[in-house]
Structure 1
Amino acid sequence: MFTAEKSALMAALALSTNVVEKRNTIPILQNVLIEKGAAAGTLNARLTNLDIEASTPFKASAAIDFEDFTVPAALLADIVRKLPDGCEVEVSRRSGTKLDGVTIKAGRSKFSLQVLPATDFPEMKLAGAFPHQVTLPAADLAAALGACSFAMSTEETRYYLNGIFMHPTAASAEHRGVVFVATDGHRLSKRFVTAESDPGMPGIIIPRQAIKVIEKILPKAGEVTIELSDTLIRISGGSSLLTSKLVDGTFPDYVRVVPQDSPMQATVDGATLGASIDRVATISGERGRAVRFIFAAGQLQLHVSNPDTGDATDELAYEGEASLEVGFNARYVNDVLSHLPGEQVLMGLDDAGGPAVLRNPGAHPENLIVLMPMRV
């Protein structure tokens, strides 16, 4: 029925691990739909779990008698992955005319797979049109999602934190665009992307699973169009199209968590701070143990105490006016440092019980990470 290069077919199946749920008890939801593409010389691979639907076209030479069909997505992806690089994959009917199975050939390898009817493959119901739309640079969107996704919560009881909050902002001509925010209650990451956003666009929560798929389909260059309705988000980037349900919940008023003024400022080298934290955390045997930060006269002392093993201390220089003792989770600090791209990190501090604001010096004021302290 069709012939395609291994690389093209593999790229189209790449989303299967993020969309298809292996333990799903509905057989058709474990399958990928191979269907005729919109453009000449292409076919389309469509996947869904009823919450997310993703489709990716791929180059293929289809026969006149090509017929849409579905096969197990994970199994097909595994077969194609193990075929020789650069080979052509030939997919044909298992029997002469009836599509009750397909045969996959590549070189001397041959596989036979069961199929399910394409008519049984569910299509996500779209309740009306998408009234809101915003276009963003693909690279900027990828950077914003990557900088926020680490702070998403995994607690099912607080489902409204299991994703990234997206909302428009038009505080001024320079600050007109879209803001992305994620928090798990211990840290909060916020990123701004300049765009001509729809002022009537609502704030929405993009679910965790959809974020993983979006990060895979985003092109490295060009623009991405995001369309929104009250319950759905649709993202078209490059050749792929993703439609996902939104989290049905209310994101907390995160603005109240972000300190508007930090009386103490300290600038440190991010790589040096990360290495120092890693060293002193060794004594605890737990990456999550609190590290005491002691700011005094341009020297930051890091201290960890473990009653079972001993103590550890390290020092590094900082610039700024800060005099404070405060504790932070070692793992959380290093997570934050890995998501601040610049070499220097500016820490805004208030008191031992207040959150710290971390950002790169000179960065956009909306681009920041808030870190809650720990008692030490």
Structure 2
Amino acid sequence: MFKAEKSALLSALALVGSVTEKRNTIPILQNVLIEREEDRLVARLTNLDIEAKTFFKAVSIDSDFQPFTVPASLLNDIVRKLPDGAEASIARPDGDKFTSIILKSGRSRFALQVLPAGDFPEMKMPADPVRVTIPADELSGAIGDCSHAISTEETRHYLNGIFFHQLAGSEDATFVATDGHRLVKRLTQAEISGAFPGVIIPRNTVRVLQKILPDAGGIDLDVTETLIRAVVGSTIITSKLIDGTFPDYQRVIPSDCHLVCTLQAKHLGEAVDRVATVSSERGRAVQFTFADQHLRLKVSNPDAGDAEDELAFEGEADLQIGFNARYVGDALAHLTGEKITLSLSAPGAPAILRSAISNPENLIVLMPMRA
């Protein structure tokens, strides 16, 4: 029915591991649908929550081509093991019933069982979605920075994704994620075609997008109240959205942080990592003591010992507060530039971390913990 190069087939099957499930109770969802659209072929994968549709070139397509589905992981493994530069041909065996396909490449031959293409589900976008166009590098940076703060606690499903919305009076798109212990907010440039509903993009969809976003160009996002669709090169990702209400995160961001310290991000990260070496796995708290433009870091673990470190900061602060060492490290890894600012108000109040060179609205909130 058609011939295609190994590289073309592999690119079409690149998201098999991210979208399909090898042991799905619905057999058709373990398959990839191969169909034709004009002079191109299309590979479609779905798990009913996410659909990936990838266009790929064929060396040739016969006039008797018929759409079919085959086990996605199996086909991906076969194609991956073909010699580099190989060409594969896929044909239908002779006979009335279309129950299998024959894949040949060189002297290799595989017979694979198929399921009817008509049984393969399709995610259809509602009419008139809002079109949001975002530079690829900004979208990649925004969801990458937010992804570490997505909650994995299933009981609060509305936190299991990134809140994608537009603030009133702003031309930017805003991305927010929180797990209740930390919160990340990131703004991006955007062209938005109309009234933009705030939606929650699921964690798994974020992971799929992170794998395929390019370094440059613009990404078109079509958004409705129930679905989001991303057009990324030759791949179209369609995903359900999380059905829930994201909390009023702006109430969590403190507005009265009168103590602002500027620190070298690299030095702070290294010092926190050093003292956290003696901390227990359960209690990762590091005590931060600000005084006389010096920050003293301390960890006490009755089972392992104590650790202290010290570094200078710019600003005026006299305060003692505790933070989770891993959360501090994650935050610093997602703030650009050599210096960061840490805004504080009280020992029991949240703190705000910002890059000294970035938009002040791009921030990370850390909840304190007892150290």
**TM-score interval, smaller chain:** over 0.9
Distance verdict in 2 for CA 1:59–1:295, change over 3 Å: same
What's the counterpart of residue 216 of structure 1?
A: 211
Q: Match of 2:25, as an amino acid? A: T
1:113 correspondence with 2:112: yes
Structure 2 residue aligned with 1:23: 23
CA distance in 2, matches of 1:88, 1:199: 46
- What is the CA–CA distance in structure 1 between the aligned matches of 2:20 and 2:346, rounded to whole Å? 47
Q: Tell which deviates more after alignment, 260-269 or 50-59.
A: 260-269
Q: Structure 1 residues 109, 318: CA separation in 2 closer, same or farther (over 3 Å shift)?
A: farther
**What SS does the aligned partner of 1:273 have?**
helix
Distance 2:111 2:295 in 1: 64
Cα distance in 2, alignment partners of residues 86 and 319 from structure 1: 58
Q: Is the 8 A contact 1:2 1:92 kept in 2?
A: yes
Q: Does 1:335 align with 2:338?
A: no
In the other structure, the counterpart of 1:36 is 36
Shift of 1:139: 1.3
2:138 maps to which residue? 140
1:288–1:331 Cα contact (<8 Å) kept: no
Aligned residues: 370
Residue aligning to 2:286: 291
> Given the alignment of the two structures, is residue 63 of structure 1 paired with residue 58 of structure 2, yes or no?
no
- For 1:52 and 1:309, locate their aligned partners in 2 and report how far apart those are by CA, in whole Å: 46
User: Match of 1:101, as an amino acid?
Assistant: S
**Preserved contact between residue 337 and residue 357 of structure 2 (Cα < 8 Å):** no
Q: Deviations over 1:217-265 (max 9, x none)?
A: 3232211111122211111121211111111100000000011232111
* 1:18 CA drift (Å): 1.4
Alignment-mate amino acid for residue 150 of structure 2: M
Partner of 2:316 in structure 1? 321
1:78 aligns with 2:77: yes
Residues 279 and 285 of structure 2 are in contact (CA less than 8 Å); yes or no, is this contact kept in structure 1?
Answer: no
Correspondences of 1:244-263 after superposition (within 5 Å)? 244-263=239-258
Worse overlay, 266-275 or 86-95:
86-95
Q: CA deviation at 1:198?
A: 4.3
Shift of 1:354: 0.8
Question: How many Å apart are 1:288 and its aligned residue?
Answer: 5.2
CA distance in 2, matches of 1:58, 1:227: 22
Does 1:200 pair with 2:195?
A: yes
Q: State the distance in 1 between where 2:288 and 2:304 align.
A: 20
Determine the C-alpha separation between the residues in 1 that align with 2:241 and 2:97: 40
SS in 2 for 1:347: strand
Q: Secondary structure at the match of 1:221?
A: coil
SS in 2 for 1:84: coil
SS at structure 1 position matched to 2:10? helix
What is the CA-CA distance between 1:319 and the residue it aligns to?
Answer: 1.5
Give the structure 2 partner of residue 351 of structure 1: 346
Question: 1:45-95 CA distances to partner (integer Å, 9 max, x unpaired)?
Answer: 101111211101111122222211101111111222222222222222244
1:362 alignment partner, one of 348, 357, 365? 357
Range 305-314 or range 14-23, more displaced: 14-23
What is the deviation of 1:197? 2.4
Q: Which amino acid aligns with 2:214?
A: P
Tell me if 1:310 matches 2:333: no
Indicate the residue corresponding to 2:177 in structure 1: 182
CA contact (8 A) 1:134 1:225 kept: yes
CA distance in structure 2 between the aligned counterparts of 1:322 and 1:35, rounded to whole angstroms: 64
Tell me the CA shift for residue 199 of structure 1: 5.3
CA 112–341 in structure 1, closer or farther in 2 if over 3 Å, else same: farther
Judge conservation of contact 2:33–2:67 (CA < 8 Å) in 1: yes
Q: Residues 5 and 87 of structure 1 are in contact (CA less than 8 Å); yes or no, is this contact kept in structure 2?
A: yes
Counterpart code for 1:353: G
AA partner of residue 90 (structure 1): S
RMSD of the alignment, in Å? 1.7
TM-score by length of 2: 0.95
* Structure 2 equivalent of residue 191 of structure 1: 186
Determine the C-alpha separation between the residues in 1 that align with 2:95 and 2:4. 21
Evaluate the alpha carbon distance shift between residue 324 and residue 95 of structure 1 in structure 2; reply closer, same or farther with a 3 A threshold: farther
Aligned partners of 2:313 and 2:109: how far apart in 1? 64
Q: Which moved more, 1:61-70 or 1:79-88?
A: 79-88
The percent of aligned pairs where both chains have the same amino acid is 60
Q: Secondary structure at the residue paired with 1:322?
A: coil
Is residue 2:7 matched to residue 1:7?
Answer: yes
Distance 2:99 2:194 in 1: 51
Q: 5 Å matches for 1:123-134? A: 123-126=122-125, 128-134=126-132
1:301 to 290, 296, 308: 296
